[in-house]
Amino acid sequence: MFDIVGKRRWFFIATGIVILVCVISLAVFRLKAGVEFSSGSVMTVAFEQEVVQADLEATLADLGYANVIIQRVGDEDFLIRLPELDSKAKKELETGLTGRLGNLDVKEFDAVSPLVATETTRNAGIAVAVAAVGILLYIAWAFRRMPNPFRYGACALVALAHDALVALGVFSILGGILDWEINLMFVTGVLAVIGYSVNNTVVVFDRVRENLVKDAKSGFETVVNNSLVETLSRSLNTSLTTLFVVIALFLFVGATIQNFAVVLLIGVIAGTYSSLCIAPQLLVVWRKGRWGRGVR
């Protein structure tokens, strides 16, 4: 039998390091707001000839667009993040780019006005808040018959916060290195993954509740560990099948949905980890007041 709960000290240390890295990264790089939240334009262009990113950057600077974010998408496309362009400015930019770098094809053009950006930010905020309340209500309901419902709920919440923080942290790192932005699909992905991963925690806790009744002799720590091991193959298998499809999405579709696939990937991994290695262990710590075996 694996002893997962007994090794909780190591899990807490590892988690602590990851969280610290995420917090530092968030403080240093911060998050880059996508066009839906901050207004402006995004243009996806493909050049007929091979174009190097540095040349594109220099050309854009010459045309009066210095320090714009350029991201390579797929094999040959460039995503250029620009201030809001009206049709005249857009035409001038296209003509300018064609003149220097050869023929191009504007595959996608998005322009978001400040008014829409404000609305989107506000409504996304409301959606996140409503989702949080919904999940809280669900947790309260799911744990209503537990001996200490508040404790179970709080541990599940810590696991959720962990998942969200890791997703944000990784994206701030990606934002710092690759200029990835937080867009509406990021919010969507995080919410979907959180909704999904809270279930993993609930399944484990559900088994703890069942075993506490069945196996009154063993200590709390043993019961939690047994429950964890019993549900382990279910938790891992479900996460694995979900990971398979997310990886397929990332590898075979990529392009504009690439960032979204990465959110899901991080979320599924973080969610599985937190429901197996954080939430149940916290429950034991709370009950026994010990962070690890023999450590007070």
Partner 1 sequence: MIRRNTQVFIAVLIVFILALLVVFPVGEGVLGKRGVRLGLDLQGGLHVVYQADLSAVASGDEAGAMDGVVAVLENRINPLGVTEPVIQKQGTDRILVELPGLDITDKEKESLSRVALLEFGELVAEGEEPKWENKAGQWKPATAVIDGEEKELTSRYFKQNTYVDRSNLGQILLIFEWDEEGSQLSEEITGRLIDKPLGIFEGDEALQGEDGRPIAPVVRAIITERGQIEGLTYEEASRLSKQLNAGRLPVPLEILYDQTISPILGSDFVGMSVQAGLIGILVVMLFMIFYYRLSGFLASLALIFYGVLVMALFKLIPVTLTLAGMGGFILSIGMAVDANVLIFERMKEELRAGRTLGAAIEAGFDRAWSAIRDSNVTTLIVCVILYWLGSTIVASAPVQGFALTLGIGVLVSMFTAIIVTRTLLRLFVRTGLTSRTGLFSPHLGRK
67 binds partner 1 (CB under 8 A): no
83 binds partner 1 (CB under 8 A): no
Distance separating alpha carbons of residues 140 and 131, to the nearest angstrom: 14
Cβ of 177: how many Cβ atoms within 10 Å?
9
Query: Among residues 256, 286, 290, 291, which is the contact residue for partner 1, using CB under 8 A?
Result: 256
Could you tell me if 219 and 188 are in contact, meaning their C-beta atoms sit under 8 angstroms apart?
no
223 binds partner 1 (CB under 8 A): no
Query: Among residues 25, 38, 71, 120, which is the contact residue for partner 1, using CB under 8 A?
Result: 120
140 binds partner 1 (CB under 8 A): no
Query: Among residues 3, 55, 62, 110, which is the contact residue for partner 1, using CB under 8 A?
Result: 110
Task: Report the SS3 class of residue 138.
Answer: helix
Q: Which is nearer to partner 1, 187 or 277 (CB)?
A: 187
257 binds partner 1 (CB under 8 A): yes
Could you tell me if 182 and 37 are in contact, meaning their C-beta atoms sit under 8 angstroms apart?
yes
User: Token digits for 276?
Assistant: 């197996």
Shortest distance in whole angstroms from residue 241 CB to partner 1: 5
2 binds partner 1 (CB under 8 A): no
Q: Which is nearer to partner 1, 3 or 108 (CB)?
A: 108
Q: In terms of C-beta density within 10 A (0-12 exposed, 13-18 middle, 19 or more buried), how is residue 289 classed?
A: exposed
Pairing of strands 69-73, 104-112: unpaired
- Give the largest CA-CA distance in the chain: 81
7 binds partner 1 (CB under 8 A): no
Per the document, the length of the chain is 296
Query: Among residues 135, 146, 154, 157, which is the contact residue for partner 1, using CB under 8 A?
Result: 135
194 binds partner 1 (CB under 8 A): yes
**Cα dist. 3→11, 205, 239, 283 in Å?**
12, 17, 21, 15
Single out the residue of 36, 48, 121, 27 nearest to residue 81, CA to CA: 36
63 binds partner 1 (CB under 8 A): no
Q: Which is nearer to partner 1, 191 or 277 (CB)?
A: 191
Query: Among residues 50, 54, 87, 216, which is the contact residue for partner 1, using CB under 8 A?
Result: 87
Q: Which is nearer to partner 1, 3 or 119 (CB)?
A: 119
Query: Among residues 1, 27, 52, 115, which is the contact residue for partner 1, using CB under 8 A?
Result: 115
Task: Report the SS3 class of residue 50.
Answer: coil
44 binds partner 1 (CB under 8 A): yes
Query: Among residues 7, 19, 29, 90, which is the contact residue for partner 1, using CB under 8 A?
Result: 90
Q: In terms of C-beta density within 10 A (0-12 exposed, 13-18 middle, 19 or more buried), how is residue 263 classed?
A: buried
For binding to partner 1 (CB under 8 A), which residues are involved? Answer: 36, 44, 87, 90-91, 105-113, 115-116, 119-120, 123-124, 126-127, 130-131, 134-135, 138, 142, 184-185, 188, 191-192, 194-196, 198-199, 202-203, 206, 230-231, 233-234, 237-238, 240-246, 248-249, 251-257, 260-261, 264
